[in-house]
Amino acid sequence: MALPNIFNKEISNEVIKRTNNLTPNTKANWGKMNVGQMLAHLSVMYEMVYDDKHKKPNAFMKFMLKSFIKNAVVNEKPYKRNSQTAPVFIIKGEKDFEIEKNRLIAYINKTQELGEATFDGKESHSFGVLNKTEWNNLFYKHIDHHLTQFGV
C-alpha cells in the first residue's frame, strides 16, 4: 500500500495540522525523546537536504548505508517502535518547542512547494539517488512515525 504523498498540499497540510496539535507538554507513548527533541530530530532529515550542516558519509559508509539501511528507510513498511537511530539523529539537551515546531513546518512547506519533480532523481545525503516515491516514503514515514509516537 502506498504511503500518503507528502508532496501533495492536502497531505502536507494534514501533517502540519498534526504537528500543530502538539504542545510543549505532549508526552511520548514510547521512546526517550521529549517533544522538542523529537521535532529537532525530524528536522535533521531536512537539514541533510537543504543545509550543508552534516558531514556526508565516506564512500565505504555510503556503500554500507545503501546496501543495508536504505531499503528500510525508503520502503512503505512502518518503523518499529524504539528502533535504533543513526548518531546524527540523536538530539541531546533541551530544545525550544516553538522554534523547533516552526522550523519543521517550514521544511515541510518548502518540500511540498518544491514538489516531487524536484526530488525525482535527486541524490540523498546517505543513500545515493532516490526516486520521488523513495523521497516521499523517507519524509512521510519518518514524520508519521514520530507524530504517532506523540499521539497526534
Amino acid at 128: G
For the stretch 37-48, what's the b/e string if a residue is b when 16 or more beta carbons lie within 10 angstroms of its beta carbon?
bbbbbbbbbbbb
| Mean pLDDT of the 38-58 span | 94
List, for residues 53-106, the tens digit of each pLDDT value: 888 898 999 999 999 999 999 999 999 998 888 888 999 999 999 999 999 999
Angle at 20 between CA 14 and CA 25, to 5 degrees: 140
